[in-house]
Structure 1
Amino acid sequence: MLKYAYFPGCVAQGACRELYESTAALTQALDIELIELKRAACCGSGTFKEESALLEDTVNARNIALAEELNLPLLTHCSTCQGVIGRVDERLKTAQSDRPEYVEQINTLLSQDHCSPYRGATEVKHLLWAIVGDYGLEALQQRVTRQLRGLKCAAFYGCYILRAQSHLPYDDPHNPQSMENVFRTLGATPIEYGGRTQCCGWPLSSYATEQSFQMAGTHLQAALDAGADCMVTPCPLCHLNLDSRQPDVETVMGRKLGLPVLHLPQLIALALGIDPKMLGLDRHMVSTRPVLAKLGL
């Protein structure tokens, strides 16, 4: 049985609760055990470093140390969390030999919060990497009970999962194929389109809203024009900009879009025969009914 220290992040426990629910349903179906890190803190989604690199590193060294206490890899289902925490882990592992005094400074701060020190003794792993690298696509295929034949899926990787870290062991950061390989394993058809590895626009949304929506709209439009029935993302922040804000995006683009955007675990769970009601598919801004109808559900 695979076992992970589970870092759900903030968004999946709030605005994208369906991601939290579908991750639970999927991992239970695959006999993957998650030990949730209840004491973990928000990774900062890349904003902490704007105030202080030490702040970002200390907060996330603490998150990693919580997983190290369990002697387990840290698992997240958020690309942004993967990018931020994974980057900190990578940086601090290098600093252990290059700048040991910096790691000691962080561990001194952690001790003041009665936390274990950062040891650099585990991995930070997105759910996608766990499925592809640990569970394996062949094993996943054996669990498929509902082939997603005829469903055309457009992967939206975004940026954090691919380019925040200098080492990406499970995919090519410039031409990723891991999600497309998952789609094929489930019986779905991957759709290639421009923009699948670009930013969704979320980081701009608080101060350049129209430009943010234009970015999201460009990707949605490209996927639609390529024939996609749905878009699938491994990041809840991307999901917010692409799904929750799609009506506003349509206003900026001057075009009706209506493209359903699924979380990655929702799609995989559907292929495992899990009831759509357990996956929160009714919580989306853009209706997922066309996807379910295409699957005869």
Structure 2
Amino acid sequence: MSAKMLQYAYFPGCVAQGACRELYLSTAAVAKTLGIELIELKKAACCGSGTYKEDSQLLEDTVNARNLALAESLNLPLLTHCSTCQGVIGHVDESLKESQRNNPGYVAQINELLHAEGCSPYRGTTEVKHLLWALVGDYGLDALQAKVTRQLTNLKCASFYGCYLLRAQKSLPDDDPFNPQSMENVFRVVGATAVDYCGRTQCCGWPISSYAREQSFQMAGKQVEAAIAAGADCLVTPCPLCHLNLDSRQPEVSQVIQRRLGLPVLHLPQLVGLALGITPKELGLDRHVVSTKPVLAKLGVS
């Protein structure tokens, strides 16, 4: 399939439509520039970010089976730009496909619940794909490189993958969960330099922030400090929940670890968008808590 023909059932998630609106804006801008069609699933529900299963695994599976069925009704893969949504929905899809083989009664139970609500049944005919993997595996790095109009030369980027993207599923389509390279490969094709540091595959602390705030911020601070020590100009993450802990809460993190940080944190499509020549305003780079001006200054972008 050529890049111009790419279509996805788009699951934007909750955070990108609220606290991280810039992710929603930048994803739309990048998709438009690359000729990727996103058909937004307006009737989709929150994936639960892993909390539904604390009350009921059946609840988590049913809610997300419904989300998957919405994509299946379009005969399209479900696309998300959130590592957490990818992990939760991808895990449910993987688990239900296994149940279709080994425990079909469980899937039938879920479909009965969906039918009672007037929803389409889960069939297990689609796949869940993060924007990162769509760019690397579907659009292709060579095709992406051909679209670059602004080389991000001399910009040192530290990746921050997020736990759910790497560890929620048994297999990843375009990466290695123990030594991922997809983000670094994107950095390379847009002209940026990948910074290797110990925190890129670790946890930002978001999952425990609601009940262990200080420990959460210590975790976030540890990762930001490590990236700074490695010489990074910015962190780049494919997860808005990681972005909240690393950017929106960075002033509070600084207070907890008693060190001034000030490291900009970009969403993946913002970085790609800059390389595609999209304006900082269109990418929502003025919406961050930690100013992105040092990144733009290094690139000579106003």
> Same fold by TM (over 0.5)?
yes
Structure 1 residue 11: deviation in Å?
Answer: 0.2
What does 1:255-274 align with in structure 2 at a 5 Å threshold? 255-274=259-278
2:86 is matched with 82
What is the DSSP-based 3-state SS (H/G/I as helix, E as strand, rest coil) of the residue aligned with 1:284? coil
1:62 to 47, 66, 70: 66
Structure 1 residue 97: deviation in Å?
Answer: 1.2
Q: Scaled by the length of structure 1, what TM-score is found?
A: 1.00
1:48 is matched with 52
2:37 is matched with 33
Structure 1 residue 9: deviation in Å?
Answer: 0.2
Residues 2-43 of structure 1 show CA distances to partners (whole Å, capped at 9, x for unaligned) of: 000000000000000000000000000000000000000000
Residues 144-165 of structure 1 show CA distances to partners (whole Å, capped at 9, x for unaligned) of: 0000000000000021001100
Percent pairwise identity: 77
Structure 1 residue 138: deviation in Å?
Answer: 0.2
Structure 1 residue 141: deviation in Å?
Answer: 0.2
C-alpha distance in 2 between matches for 1:151 and 1:195: 19
2:26 is matched with 22
Residues 155-207 of structure 1 show CA distances to partners (whole Å, capped at 9, x for unaligned) of: 00021001100011210000000000000000000000011101110011010
1:293 is matched with 297
Matched, 1:245 2:260: no
What is the DSSP-based 3-state SS (H/G/I as helix, E as strand, rest coil) of the residue aligned with 2:23? helix
Matched, 1:226 2:230: yes
Matched, 1:126 2:130: yes
What does 1:94-113 align with in structure 2 at a 5 Å threshold? 94-113=98-117
C-alpha distance in 1 between matches for 2:49 and 2:91: 12
What is the DSSP-based 3-state SS (H/G/I as helix, E as strand, rest coil) of the residue aligned with 2:282? helix
Structure 1 residues not aligned, in runs of 5+:
none
What does 1:184-223 align with in structure 2 at a 5 Å threshold? 184-223=188-227
What is the DSSP-based 3-state SS (H/G/I as helix, E as strand, rest coil) of the residue aligned with 1:281? coil
Structure 2 residues not aligned, in runs of 5+:
none
**What's the Cα RMSD here?**
0.4
C-alpha distance in 2 between matches for 1:157 and 1:253: 22
What is the DSSP-based 3-state SS (H/G/I as helix, E as strand, rest coil) of the residue aligned with 1:279? coil
Q: Scaled by the length of structure 2, what TM-score is found?
A: 0.98
1:180 is matched with 184
Residues 245-288 of structure 1 show CA distances to partners (whole Å, capped at 9, x for unaligned) of: 00000001111100000000000000000011101000000000
